[in-house]
Structure 1
Amino acid sequence: MSSSNRSSRVTPSEEVQTPGGLARLTKTVALATLAVLGASYVLNAMDRQVFPVLLPDIRTEYGFSLGQGGFLATIFTLGIGLAGLPTGYLLDKMSRRGVILLGIAIFSVFTVLTALAVGYWDMFAYRALSGVGEAMQNAALFSAVGAYFFANRALALGSLNFAYGIGSFLGPLLGAQFATSFGDWRAPFFIYGGVGIVLLVVIRLTVSKRFTEQVESKTSVAQGFDHMPQNLYNKNLLLLALTAVVVGVAMYGYIGLYPTFLQEELGFSRGDAGLAASMFGIGALMGLPAGWLGDRLNQRNLMIAALLAGAVVGYLLFNGPTSLGPQVALSFAEGALASGFMFVNIYSSMQRAVRPNMVGRASGLYVASFYIPAAIAGYLFSALVAATGWGGAALWQLTILPLIGVATLAFVDVKKFSNARVAAHH
């Protein structure tokens, strides 16, 4: 029997029936499936976060400037962003599970190729194309999980961000250790790419379409959808997309050059810089409580509060304490606010801003909005550093820019969201 047939045949003990859709898995099987998919997102984050902590070594070997290095550190987001909208439409034509698998295959291959680069432009291409795979996995994964756990959508997406946080913590930390142990910055890319292929096989064999292809039905949602706009590009969605632009540019400005700042400006060792950078990932674990709060509180007000707090933290990261302990604490706070609270709640609110048949395209728009502008975040931050110093760059990109997001969110109407508050059958 093929694995696709296996995935569509679930024993009675593994499923419960719901009206108007595929048979749903039992709670135990659904949570186990979520854990397997979450593991693939751990790896996604590890790949994204390892490059910046290895950047000083890469720059030394290839002779890249700070600007070139900053661009390489965040260029994968261009691939993620450009693939976001096409992936959203691909999800209308192809199974979410199939898109997840294809995405993992693509980013794993180009992660390995990064270690084989001979110069700037082919490394540029490999990092950008790894982002294409990450986008496909991201949009399909978040669409599948958001649809399956629709009644607690923000909490469910928060669990994925929890996985991202684990990867963001392990990626720089293990990457620095692997590079030191093997005496070569290339080692982490070979290892992470290989693990990706293993996870691809595991997901292909164990994840059921009963999980990935669910669609919430109108009969299972308390208030229906009549109060919501019928069109995809409605006012709420566009305002939230603009907020995603702001958060992406600010967050990836920090991610791209923070380890370089610690090593070259503050004199931290590679290990200490890796530790401080990895605390962003520990902060991202706050995606779980952030999602839980997003399901219960006014999401707009929650995001405004997080942006205001993030503006303060962003300033202090590059203008405040210069010792390891406080930098670890500030990096944790940046991860909690930018990745934990903002990423999760913007993503889930964009899904809630559209009707269920448009969730895939809304996810694609989020990915495009968040990641395309983020592609220049590292380069922009390096240009601001050259013009105003590290402290001035942080003031503009990590403090003033988020205030634009606050102003944008003020016009979001949460009364037009789809807020399913009925018990789901899982």
Structure 2
Amino acid sequence: MRKYTALFFFIMFMIGTDTFLISPLLPTLQTQFGVSTGIAGWMIGAYTLGSAVFALIAGPLSDGWNRRTVLLSGLLGFSVSTILCGFADSFWTMCLFRLLAGISAAFTAPQVWASIPAVMPATSVPKTMGIAFSGLAASQALGVPIGSWLATAHWSVPFWTIGAASLLLAAVAFHSLPHMKPGANKGGRTTILLRYVPLVTSGKAMSGFIAYLLLHLGSGTAFAFAGKWMFDRFGIPIGQIGMVMMFLGFGSLLGSTVSAYSARKLGHVRAVAAGMALLMALYAIMPNLSSLSAVTIVYLIIFATLGIIFPIVMGALTSLNASIRGTISSLANSTMNGANTLGAWIAGLLYVQFGGYSSIGIFSTVCLALSLGTFLFGGVFERKGMRTDQESASAS
């Protein structure tokens, strides 16, 4: 079972590194392709757009197919399209290859979350979820700095390295992962839209995704203008802001590592409730802090707490219906991207029009409070429902 855990960790590490890589390379690529600052952002947007839109299609399709085949196809496409990014000779070809990489990631990342309950014992699912999520955290803390260091040789080297490593992971997955075919009564003839019906008609599922949207909206809004606020408040250079952000990645990595332990000791409900209550308090006091050291420590605690919460929440969501885990995972991915996109827009509006970062802190606190209430009253973490789904997974 350890080989699966390691495989899922490294897949998420590669996808996370590729996702965040463009940001530090943006000035170099902007100069390379001779485009304006406003247009250059499309090299980031192309990836997230492809990932968010196609995740809604990839999930339902994967629930009617062999998950192993879907994951391998997505990972192979991801590696090839990322390698092609290193050969891009114009702005638009780079956008095209980034779009293809995002589409491929949409077929890959959700399969990791959906495959964990299928290949791991029920008792190991929370721990494996946390380790897989820590792959994303590690990519922010380690992958992006490593990618930036590789770019000192040439801007294309990070893309070739990530693509080649992902190709190697595809080979490992081919030889190690078992087939994960849908059950006989869950064949692939069901249309994409019909696979969303169990979620739309379930009050628990609707509550879960609304709460998940609010959770990411609150955290995404707070994070979107964190760098801008630190620059305005403390006058630190961009390089130092980047170092702070890298430090936050370690907080997320720490939190995801102890997520399973926290859930086991406190229980799912208490762990999430305590974590979100702590986040509400920290988001409220953050704008009033007067030293960069205090801000860094508080953000470290915030990211560690989020690292604890997210794997527990994802485990609860994928346990809602064992037969459509791919659909659930993909919808969660699209929800996250949509919330972060909306959060960035709201953060800009609040920062400029309504008193700077203080209004952002208030907004994030309200979102977290609404999210927690929706989680609790929607019954998403009811142990009976989760146990039934785990038993269904074992039976399949």
Aligned residue for 1:334?
302
Aligned counterparts, 1:53-64, within 5 A:
53-55=24-26, 62-64=35-37
1:281-320 → structure 2 map (5 Å cutoff): 281-285=249-253, 286-295=255-264, 297-315=266-284, 319-320=288-289
How far apart are 1:74 and its partner, in Å? Answer: 6.3
What code does the residue aligned with 2:131 have?
Answer: S
Which residue is 2:118 aligned to? 147
Whether contact under 8 Å (2:247, 2:300) holds in the other structure is: yes
Residues 87-106 of structure 1 aligned to structure 2 (within 5 Å) = 87-106=58-77
RMSD: 3.5
CA contact (8 A) 1:74 1:375 kept: no
Whether the 8 Å contact between 1:81 and 1:371 is mirrored in structure 2 is yes
Deviations 1:16-67 (A, max 9, x none): xxxxxxxxxxxxxx212321232111111112233334456667764324xx
Distance 1:232 1:401, change over 3 A: closer
The answer to whether the Cα contact below 8 Å between 2:5 and 2:128 also exists between their aligned partners in 1 is no
For residue 173 of structure 2, the aligned residue among 203, 209, 217 is: 203
Structure 1 distance, partners of 2:122, 2:259, is 16
> What is the one-letter code of the residue matched to 2:173?
I
Tell me the SS of whatever aligns to 1:209. Answer: coil
Range with bigger deviation, 368-377 or 89-98: 368-377
Query: How far 1:137 sits from its partner (Å)?
Result: 1.4
Is 1:344 equivalent to 2:315 in the alignment? no
Pairing 1:2-401 to 2, within 5 Å after superposition: 30-55=1-26, 62-65=35-38, 76-112=47-83, 116=88, 118-119=90-91, 126-152=97-123, 153-179=125-151, 181-182=152-153, 187-204=157-174, 206-209=175-178, 231-233=198-200, 234-254=202-222, 256-259=224-227, 261-262=229-230, 266-285=234-253, 286-295=255-264, 297-315=266-284, 319-323=288-292, 325-338=293-306, 340-354=307-321, 356-388=322-354, 390-392=356-358, 394-401=360-367
> Closer, same or farther in 2 for the Cα pair 1:190/1:412, shift >3 Å?
same
Residue 157 of structure 1 and its aligned partner are, at CA, apart by 0.7
Aligned to 1:375, the other structure's residue is in SS state helix
In structure 2, C-alpha distance between the alignment counterparts of 1:49 and 1:90, rounded to whole Å: 27
1:416–1:131 CA distance, 2 compared to 1 (3 A): farther
Opposite residue 344 of structure 1, the aligned amino acid is P
CA contact under 8 A between 2:127 and 2:260: conserved in structure 1? yes
State the 1:142 CA deviation: 1.0
More moved, 69-78 vs 340-349: 69-78
Q: What's the TM-score once normalised by structure 2's chain length?
A: 0.78
Q: Distance in 1 between matches of 2:218 and 2:98?
A: 20
In structure 1, stretches of 5+ residues that fail to align are 1-29, 216-229
Conservation of the 8 A alpha-carbon contact between 1:106 and 1:130: yes
Task: Check whether the contact 1:315–1:391 (CA below 8 A) recurs between aligned residues.
Answer: no
Distance 1:371 1:276, change over 3 A: same
- Pairwise CA distance, 1:169: 1.0
DSSP-derived class of the 2:387 partner: coil
Asked if structure 2 preserves the Cα contact closer than 8 Å seen for 1:381 and 1:397, the reply is no
> In 1, Cα distance between the equivalents of 2:45 and 2:299?
18
Instruction: Give SS of 1:353's match.
Output: coil
Tell me which protein shows more helix as a share of its residues.
2
Residue ranges of structure 2 left out of the alignment (5+ in a row) = 184-196
Matched residue, 1:20: none
